[in-house]
Structure 1
């Protein structure tokens, strides 16, 4: 969400930034609406002043026993009251029209974000003194790699047929050792973020109101991408990511600055309709309607948000380093970033079965974009309320981490070696299947 006053003061910069995200100029229409709204407010104030003044004159006329004048003034006040009602309704309608228009405009990219149209324009990202050599190496399997679903079905632990009978396509049933391995991965990641990265573990609700989805910018733009359930006279959304409840913890609040940053993490199921993904990744677990994910959320000050973004990326990378999974980091271009992001890093894990990299984590800084929608602020050193900055990132997607482990640690006989970091969570098992 944007401040219409800032847009009015910076129309060219606003439109230029939106152009990098593939949008047509909108500042002129927004400013026109706001000019009309302010004109209505000015007229409303003038009518209110006239009404107040005329109301006082009624008392004076009655005190002077001038009934004719009193009746004349009362008729005027009655007419002004009707006029006020009309103006208030018009001001309310214009305010809502402006809010609705602003709510479907994506965040503006941060300085230095590469300009591009799609994923082909994303660029590799390395920190200073970092290179390929600082990340786990690609495995040298020495045989033709299988995809995760081939391995999973062969060992009897990955059942798409039963899932389809129960729920339809894009669901899976995990059984036995694979079910335990998936649980172990989630537990390992949440322990890492809590015990070593300083995040506070949370078990949030998995159903949220529309207001929470609006606050983190899932609604109204992407209403068709989610699952909803009837609730009383309204509905609740099944969370597409724990970012939604975790970020909304600070909605409609003013935080003391010394409490920041707030860092939350949660291991939750996530639910997405995958609208627009027909025909993509139909085999296996890569793109599911239901999946588990460890999410990280940070709430901080504007001065610290860039530093916090780098920290959050490092926390997500550490998961793959400890699992020994080769990966790369890509900085997303303006045309590929999510709706609410100002800057995004994607971590892409190497999958030998597909012979390619696939996204396993997305880490974004949103600036004050979500905070304005949630009215989430902090009180600065001067006692003035300011909007917080919000950040979110996968730490990481559990199902995709399971895929990466299976494909990178597969053996020629169809078994999968358990990474050392996961063995304590697997009762000491070193291998499954085969």
Structure 2
């Protein structure tokens, strides 16, 4: 493909020396600032994540897709960036963890696509060491495009002066953002509180945008060339099917790309809310995504109409695919972090309880009858069930067995969150009842 067919768009990759530096808050602030100037902003999130993208979607006004060189794959990343470059005035990519953490890392992604890196550094308890951190991030990997650093959580103008004193001449600080509890996003055990639960999110993002207005980030970064890639047509393997998808505050961990793929394969999607005790729409299959069922035990137990409809669906032998929190909803009972236990649907034998520490984390793949699907796992609960797994996922970075896959009648369930575009054929089999045969 010739360089002449490339699309050029200003782009910036926001990373940091570690997690909890304020990347999401500031990425959202930059997006909101430029959106308020009338620019079209497209934001992406590195790696598996459901919570940050909803925050970023509120700021940019557009769904936020995931980019990961392994889970989503380089061709998928390349296609999505190229498509965004044809529509946007600015592309922002928020990294995960620290700049060089993980395999593949944020630095790997930024270098692959030539997107300049802006490092966000929480300067709490730091003075001239800020310069050493900035120097290390900018010089650790020669050839990595580096835009500069942004000092976050600055205490005062004097603190800002101290931060900049020893900064090397070749490293640019694009500005400082003052410490302000009013813009800090609330968190819980799986990460940030969901965007739809933060009542004053709009005000918080406007306050961050106001701080961005006092930095060099008011100017667009340099344009980056994004090249096209040949894509295969999505096969209409779900034509004439209706898939009911649970979607509310208890079941919200859904990649936008998953929804897009199901629709592209011909499925009609009908959304319903177990929390609202809505009737299950007439459907050929059901998708129960992950989320926070443990935060809504009483409401879910009381949602008898939804429960009865789901039991009828399974009794009729219709496919039901459940991921993580969706699987917990299928169990006999679920216990939250405080020790409160509630009855769930009883469609799978067993019980789960929330723990104080992570019980599963990392990239994994699952081989089904239709081939390999890629995804990730991230949960604090532990499951006790007499049901034997039909297979196990494979960990990306370890030879130890990954998450279990359970099947019972028409139900397929696992802790895994799958990225559907990694294998459309295997996904179609999940919803047509022949995933493992």
Under TM normalisation by the shorter chain, which class is it?
A: under 0.3
Structure 2 length-normalised TM: 0.23
Return the structure number with greater relative CO, CA threshold 8 A, min gap 6.
1
More strand by share: 2
- Structure with the bigger percentage of helix: 1
